[in-house]
Amino acid sequence: MNMRKFTRTAFVLLAGYLPLQTVAQQATPATFLLKSSVLTQSKAAIAQHAPAQTKALADLLQLADRALLQGPYSVTFKSQVPPSGDKHDYMSVGPYWWPDTTKSNGLPYIRRDGEINPERYAVKDDGYFNSLCSDVNVLGLAWFYTGNEKYATQAAKLLRTWFLDPATKMNPHLNYGQSIPGITQGRGIGLIDTRAMVALIDGVQLLKGAKSFPAEDFRGVQDWFRQFLTWMLTSKIGKEELVANNNHGTWYDVQAVSMALFTEQPQLAKQILLEHTTKRIDQQFETDGRQPIELDRTLSWHYSEFNLQGFFALATMGELVQVDLWHYESPGKKTLRKGFEWMLPFAENKAAWPYKQIKSLNVDEYAELAMIAHQKYPDLDLATFWNLHPVTPGYSFLLTGWGK
């Protein structure tokens, strides 16, 4: 799936991370990561044939029309069988683990950080799930903006296949995520595989009211996520990821908070943010904004950026339960703003990135963070950055749940 077809204009106008002129209000969708008020403002602007919003919608509909031809997806479509013997169980292989060439059978596998073993792609569940999340999000947006039932019909089919149909639905757990041959059949780290669910959840929220997605189906999907969240909070594997002190812990919170909001448990969402996310800010950042654990990786820029994306997602959802992470300062004087600002000189080419980065340094996702930082920290000087990066060749922040 290629999420980098939208311009920055499309991202701003349709996702709503920068202010738009106030227009006549319509009923606002109850989205969690997308700005619902700006979605309705953009919809009204499109009705008035505003050129920029109309062009952005055309770009969105290109992706939506493509999504009409894709799927459905299911964990039962894979050729491999999980250790349980049940194809309804999700499974994946750890991406950075390779056969040990000093052993005749290659076991146990050894880690090569940042280098993806192609065996990862032989098991299709991860790719299927990411495509599902992307397509449902795009189709939900297309239905919201156009009212064309064909988009809702396709999204509803995708959702029923993955979550509701007894023949094809996924069991609500990740007991076999990111296995390592010769070491483990599944581990807490596997939860990073489902980080894009926040995009899917917003897509489901946008589909409310569509004829082809009745309330019964909505409640069925909601109940599936309630079971999955319970598994996350109570299982051994879920608890392993909960205590992760790097980007895995951050994205655990992103998923848990989004599911708590989706399943109508706002107090639980608030509790997670206050009890876990605030501590992660203190643990994962230095006072100057560095993220030392992420900087120790072979893809240090990527993971610093990726982790910050997760925190920005949490701060956005925190607004819905009156938790202000944008301006939160930890007991150790750590803040999200400092985390963003520390990376800025490198993105502006004022300094060379001094840490290991075995792939090219890409600032596309950082630019998407900058659009939000501009709004949350209006005194922040981003003029040099915008001069260097006037266009972000991507819409992934909206469509894939703030991640890659």
Domain-embedded: residue 131? yes
Domain that holds residue 124: 68-211
Domain-embedded: residue 46? no
Domain of 200: which CATH number?
A: 1.50.10.100
Domain-embedded: residue 150? yes
Encode pLDDT of 38-69 as tens digits: 788 888 888 999 887 888 888 899 999 999 99
pLDDT at position 400 over 60: no
Tell me what pLDDT residue 15 has. Answer: 54
Count: domains in the chain:
1
Encode pLDDT of 373-386 as tens digits: 998 999 999 999 99
Domain-embedded: residue 169? yes
Domain-embedded: residue 103? yes
Q: What is the pTM of this model?
A: 0.91
Domain-embedded: residue 129? yes
Which of 178, 278, 208, 298 minimizes the C-alpha distance to 27?
208
Q: Do residues 194 and 250 touch, judged by C-beta distance below 8 A? A: no
Q: In Å, how far are 32, 72, 230, 302, 360 from 137, measured between CA atoms?
A: 12, 14, 24, 24, 29
Encode pLDDT of 78-90 as tens digits: 999 999 999 999 9
| Count helices and strands in the chain by DSSP H and E runs | 17, 4
Q: Do residues 262 and 205 touch, judged by C-beta distance below 8 A? A: yes
Q: Do residues 108 and 181 touch, judged by C-beta distance below 8 A? A: yes
Tell me what pLDDT residue 20 has. Answer: 39
Q: Do residues 138 and 150 touch, judged by C-beta distance below 8 A? A: no
Q: In Å, how far are 189, 271, 277 from 282, measured between CA atoms?
A: 21, 17, 9
Domain-embedded: residue 355? no
Q: 57 vs 166, which has greater pLDDT?
A: 166
Report strand pairing: 110-111 vs 97-98.
antiparallel
Domain-embedded: residue 192? yes
